[in-house]
Structure 1
Amino acid sequence: MKKLLSLILCVFPISAYCEVESESLCFESSPGGQIKYELRTYSDSSANWFGGFVKYKKSKQPISLVLKRVEHEELDPQAPTQLTRTWSEVLDGQITGEYEMVSQGGNIVSMVYKKKSGKEYSFSFDPTVEVSVDGGCEWK
């Protein structure tokens, strides 16, 4: 019986299953589009784990993000739920700002970056920018 149990355990290993999902979104400042960055998020809802980073077009280093909160709001029973995600920007161990993205269904309604000083920048999602797994947003 012990041999049979050992064989079963070898054939069907006991392991935790997790599926990390990632999403890459490309944004540019509005108006004007002078500032461009990629928002890449990672999540494993089974482990309740979320992470991410932003990488500006003119920067070589990504900046880490920590999910601070997610708010769900039903604006209309016939419409998709509106989600507001707030990410804290962490640079050199310090929180230096926040990114707030509002989406409803597949539409990104708004994206705002607020520096710790209080200055705010608005960004627009650019669906025309192609995204590669290795290189992120492929800006033209």
Structure 2
Amino acid sequence: MKKLFLLMVFMCPSIAHSEVESQIYCFHSREGKSIKFEFRTYYDPAANWVGAGVKYGVSKESISLVRKDIQAQDMAEGGPSEFTTTWVEVAEGTVSGEYVMATQGALVNAMSYTNYKSKKHYSFDYYPNVESSPETGCRW
């Protein structure tokens, strides 16, 4: 993820001067073996650029994600819409899986991952009370 960002900075100098917004979400698997990961989103309003990455457990490496789709669904009248965002995972130069996250305002209603090769599907719960920061990520 760092290499991609640096490449973009050198190729598009105007990006280096804009403020990139970042958010960290901490997730834990619902069933089966214990899987924990942090999900980071990045948004540059000046360049209208969106990206994301995931980092599992205590791994030092993050996996790049590219936004594939976003859909809005109106919920209760006057309430916030629910946004379902689909991200594709790009690992070692191959599109290897897909994350789907449903949010409504500050709430994360659902998160899932499907591995393209094995066809395995995993569901995750959002843990908003896990301490996190840009420097340390999710502190499990």
TM-score with structure 2 length normalisation?
0.82
How far the C-alpha of 1:72 sits from its partner, in A, is 1.0
After superposition, residues 62-77 of structure 1 pair within 5 angstroms as 62-77=62-77
Corresponding residue of 1:137: 138
SS in 2 for 1:66: strand
Unaligned runs of 5+ in 2: 1-13
Q: Which structure 2 residues correspond to residues 1-140 of structure 1 after superposition, within 5 A?
A: 18-31=18-31, 34-117=34-117, 118-139=119-140
Query: Percent of pairs identical after alignment?
Result: 45
Structure 2 SS opposite 1:76 = coil
Tell me how far apart the structure 1 counterparts of residues 32 and 125 of structure 2 sit (CA, whole Å). Answer: 10
**Structure number, greater radius of gyration:** 1
Query: Size of the alignment, in residue pairs?
Result: 125
Residue 128 of structure 1 aligns to which amino acid in structure 2? N
Residues 1:33 and 1:126: Cα distance change in structure 2 (over 3 Å): farther
Q: Distance in 2 between matches of 1:33 and 1:23?
A: 26
- Mapped partners of 2:106, 2:86: distance in 1: 17
Post-superposition shift, 1:74? 0.7
The CA distance in 2 between the partners of 1:22 and 1:75, in whole Å, is 26
Look up the equivalent residue of 1:120 and give its one-letter code.
H
Residue range with higher mean Cα deviation, 58-67 or 93-102: 58-67
Q: TM-score, normalised by structure 1?
A: 0.82
Gaps of 5+ in 1: 1-14
Root mean square deviation of aligned Cα: 1.7
Structure-2 separation of matches of 1:18 and 1:71? 26
Equivalents in 1 of 2:33, 2:26: separation in Å?
A: 11
Distance 1:83 1:119, change over 3 A: same
